[in-house]
Amino acid sequence: MKIIKWVLGIGCLILLVSVRLFEEVLFHDPLVDFFRSNFTQAEPPVLEKWKLVSLTSARFFINTLLSLIILYLAFSKKSILKFSGLFYAGSFIILIGVFYYLLSPLKAENYMFLFYVRRFLIQPLFLILLLPAFYYQQNIKKTDS
């Protein structure tokens, strides 16, 4: 059973990396090239806001699903899965709202804030935060007992 968990976990990690590696093929995002350039001095790209928001949302949901599977495989607790699901849902509502607001209209003084909000939407950063937090919480409870 432990080997199956490891294989599934590694498979999910490979899928997370694949989402990142094939982002240009899978997701239309003109902000990728914009942020790779000297964006503080550049003119913003022409954006189809709803398409960008939709595909960014899809990427967030793919990353979230894979992250929730990894968290469940790592801890096998429904309480952790439930908390994480609520955390991801709340984070998505806040971040996508801020993301859309920053896109309408796109202003130079908001570029860095948009960069970081977008980063939380398209990268599995919450997994990187939640995994060690739950691990720490689990080990603290064991040492307190």
**Each residue of 127-140: pLDDT tens digit?**
999 999 999 998 88
Q: How far apart are CA 24 and CA 12, in angstroms?
A: 20
- The candidate with the shortest Cα–Cα distance to 63, out of 96, 93, 88, is 88
Structure-token pair, residue 86: 């609520």
Q: What's the pLDDT score for residue 33?
A: 83
| Residue 37 · residue 96 · CB < 8 Å | no
Q: How many alpha carbons fall within 13 Å on the CB side of residue 4? A: 2
10-residue block means of pLDDT along the chain (145 residues)? 93 96 88 83 84 95 98 95 97 97 88 93 95 92 70
Q: What's the pLDDT score for residue 145?
A: 61
Q: How far apart are CA 77 and CA 71, in angstroms?
A: 9
Q: What's the pLDDT score for residue 15?
A: 97
Q: What's the pLDDT score for residue 143?
A: 74
Q: What's the pLDDT score for residue 35?
A: 85
Q: What's the pLDDT score for residue 9?
A: 95
